[in-house]
C-alpha cells in the first residue's frame, strides 16, 4: 500500500482507483456465488476496500512495466524482460477463491506487437492491446511475451516505450480471518512510532471474556479491584475513545473525520452487579472528540446536528483554568531546591582558615544532600567533596 503525500481532491483517480474500477467491473462476469461469498469474507475480516468503495475482491494493486524489444530480438521471452514474473508460473501466495485481474493501459503505436498473455490451461492466449482486461486465477500457471517493436522503429524510441499493466489481486494474508492490518501508529518514547494492529482475537466469533497473560497489571483486567463498576467502566470507556480519536486524527485532513463523543460513550454499557441494572456511559464534557453545540442539554432535547471540536473549545478552557488554579496554590507551598554544586576542602583543610573541617558537619551535609535526592560522592584521595543546597531547581519536601 503506497502512502500519498498529497490529495488534490477526492475525485482524483490514481492507479489504485483505475485498477480497482476495471477489476470490479469485470467481476460482474464472475460466477454470482463467488462474488456473494467474497462480500461475506470482506465483512468477516474487515478487509480494506482499495481504490473504490465496494471493492471486496482485490486487496492489492501493482504496476507491471515491460520494456520494448527490437524486432531482431523477436524470440525474447518474458523471463528476460521481467525475470521470474515473466516465465510460466503460479502466484502461490494468492488467496482462493479470489481472482487476479490484469488490464493493459498502453499503446505503443502501429506495427508494434503488444505481446500475448498465456494461460497454458485451458490452452489460450490473449493479445495485450490497449485496455485489454484478463480475469483469471493466479493460482493457475500463466505467463506471456513482451512488446516487440517493428524493424523500422528507431533505436532511441525503444528506450522511451514500455507496456504498462495494472494488476489487482488478493493474497492469503489479507483475506484470512487470522490477518491483522496496520490500522494506525502509536507514539513511543523515541522519535519513531510503532504500528497499531488489531489482532484477530479481537474479531473472533466468541463473545466470552478474553484473558491475556501480561507482565503488567492493566485497568481492563485488574481495574475492578480498585474501583466500583461505574468508575471502572467510565475510565475504560474514555480510554477507548481516546485511542479512537488518536487514530481518527491520523486520517487525511481533507476527509474531516469526527467522533461524536457523546454517542460513542453512550454505546458502551455495563451491568452493576449489586443492582443488576444496565447503565450507559455519560458524556465527557472536558474530554476530546466532537460534541453537539447543544451538548450540555439532555440528549432528548438536542436538535442541532452541528458538532463542535472539544480540542478547540472545552479542552483549552479547562486546562487554562486548572493551570491558573495550580499556580495560585503552589505559591503557598514551601520548597527546597537542590543542586550538585560542591565545596572542596583541599587536603582536608578549610580554605578560609587552614583548619580541617568538622567531620560530623561534613557527614550531616552529605545526609542532607542524600535526603534531597542527591548521592554524595566518595572522597577522592585526600580531597573531600561536599554538596550544598542552593535555590536553583524546585523540588517539593
Task: In whole angstroms, give the CA distance from residue 372 to residue 385.
Answer: 17
Q: Which residues of the chain form CATH 3.60.130.30?
A: 15-175
pLDDT of residue 282: 92
pLDDT > 80? residue 79? no
Sequence-separated (6 or more) residues with CB below 8 Å from residue 268: 233, 237, 240, 280, 281
Lowest mean pLDDT among 109-118, 169-178, 245-254: 169-178
Write down the residue that cell numbers 542552593 correspond to: 390
pTM: 0.67
Are the beta carbons of 305 and 349 closer than 8 angstroms? no
DSSP single-letter state for residue 65: E
Cis check: omega of the bond before 122, within 30 degrees of 0: yes
Number of neighbouring beta carbons within 10 Å of residue 380: 9
pLDDT of residue 265: 94
pLDDT > 90? residue 309? no
Radius of gyration for the chain, computed over Cα atoms and rounded to the nearest angstrom: 34
pLDDT of residue 151: 84
To which H or E segment does residue 279 belong?
strand 278-280
Are the beta carbons of 216 and 152 closer than 8 angstroms? no
To which H or E segment does residue 344 belong?
strand 342-345
pLDDT > 90? residue 247? yes
Question: What CATH architecture applies to the domain 15-175?
Answer: 4-Layer Sandwich (3.60)
For 367-380, how does the pLDDT look when each residue is reduced to its tens digit (9 = 90+)?
A: 554 454 444 444 44
Average pLDDT over residues 319-335: 84
Are the beta carbons of 123 and 172 closer than 8 angstroms? no
For 16-39, how does the pLDDT look when each residue is reduced to its tens digit (9 = 90+)?
A: 888 899 999 999 888 899 999 999
Exposure of 389 in the CB half-sphere (CA atoms within 13 A): 17
- Kindly report the average pLDDT of the chain as a whole number: 78
DSSP string, 280-337: EPPP-TTSSSEEETTTTS-GGG-----EEEGGGTHHHHHHHHHHHHHHHHHTTS-EEE
pLDDT of residue 161: 84
For 248-274, how does the pLDDT look when each residue is reduced to its tens digit (9 = 90+)?
A: 999 999 999 999 999 999 999 999 999
C-alpha pair distances (Å), 277 with each of 271, 280, 314 = 5, 10, 32
Extract the C-alpha cell encoding 5. 503525500
Are the beta carbons of 236 and 220 closer than 8 angstroms? yes
Percent of the chain's residues with pLDDT above 90: 30
Amino acid at each position: 500500500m503506497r502512502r500519498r503525500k498529497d490529495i488534490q481532491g477526492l475525485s482524483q483517480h490514481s492507479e489504485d482507483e483505475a485498477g480497482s474500477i476495471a477489476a470490479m467491473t469485470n467481476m460482474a462476469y464472475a460466477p454470482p456465488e463467488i462474488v456473494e461469498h467474497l462480500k461475506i469474507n470482506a465483512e468477516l475480516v474487515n478487509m480494506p476496500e482499495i481504490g473504490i468503495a465496494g471493492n471486496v475482491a482485490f486487496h492489492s494493486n501493482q504496476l507491471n512495466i515491460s520494456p520494448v524489444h527490437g524486432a531482431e530480438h523477436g524470440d525474447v521471452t518474458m523471463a528476460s524482460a521481467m525475470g521470474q514474473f515473466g516465465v510460466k508460473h503460479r502466484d502461490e501466495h494468492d488467496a482462493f477463491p479470489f481472482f487476479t485481474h490484469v488490464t493493459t493501459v498502453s499503446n505503443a503505436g502501429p506495427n508494434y506487437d503488444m505481446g500475448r498473455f498465456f494461460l497454458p490451461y485451458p490452452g489460450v492466449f490473449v493479445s495485450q492491446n490497449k485496455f485489454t482486461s484478463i480475469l483469471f486465477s493466479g493460482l493457475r500457471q500463466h505467463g506471456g511475451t513482451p512488446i516487440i517493436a517493428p524493424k523500422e522503429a528507431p533505436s532511441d524510441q525503444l528506450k522511451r516505450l514500455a507496456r504498462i499493466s495494472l494488476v489487482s489481486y488478493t493474497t492469503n494474508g489479507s483475506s484470512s480471518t487470522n490477518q491483522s492490518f496496520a490500522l494506525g501508529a502509536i507514539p513511543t518514547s523515541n522519535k519513531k512510532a510503532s504500528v497499531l494492529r488489531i489482532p484477530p482475537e479481537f474479531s473472533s466469533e466468541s463473545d466470552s471474556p478474553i484473558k491475556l497473560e501480561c507482565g503488567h497489571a492493566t485497568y481492563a483486567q485488574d481495574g475492578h479491584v480498585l474501583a466500583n463498576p461505574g468508575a471502572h467502566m467510565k475510565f475504560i470507556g474514555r480510554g477507548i475513545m481516546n485511542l479512537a480519536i488518536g487514530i481518527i486524527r491520523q486520517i487525511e485532513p481533507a476527509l474531516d473525520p469526527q467522533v461524536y463523543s457523546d454517542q460513542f460513550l453512550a454505546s458502551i454499557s455495563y451491568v452493576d452487579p449489586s443492582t443488576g441494572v444496565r447503565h450507559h456511559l455519560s458524556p465527557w464534557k472536558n474530554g476530546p472528540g466532537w460534541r453537539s453545540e447543544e451538548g450540555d442539554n439532555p440528549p432528548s432535547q438536542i436538535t442541532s446536528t452541528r458538532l463542535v471540536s472539544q480540542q478547540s473549545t472545552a479542552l483549552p478552557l479547562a486546562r487554562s483554568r486548572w493551570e491558573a488554579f495550580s499556580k495560585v496554590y503552589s505559591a503557598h507551598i514551601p520548597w527546597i531546591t537542590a543542586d550538585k554544586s560542591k565545596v572542596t576542602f583541599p587536603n582536608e583543610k578549610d580554605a578560609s582558615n587552614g583548619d580541617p573541617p568538622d567531620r560530623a558537619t561534613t557527614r550531616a551535609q552529605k545526609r542532607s544532600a542524600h535526603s534531597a535526592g542527591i548521592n554524595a560522592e566518595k572522597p577522592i584521595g585526600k580531597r573531600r567533596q561536599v554538596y550544598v543546597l542552593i535555590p536553583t531547581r524546585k523540588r517539593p519536601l
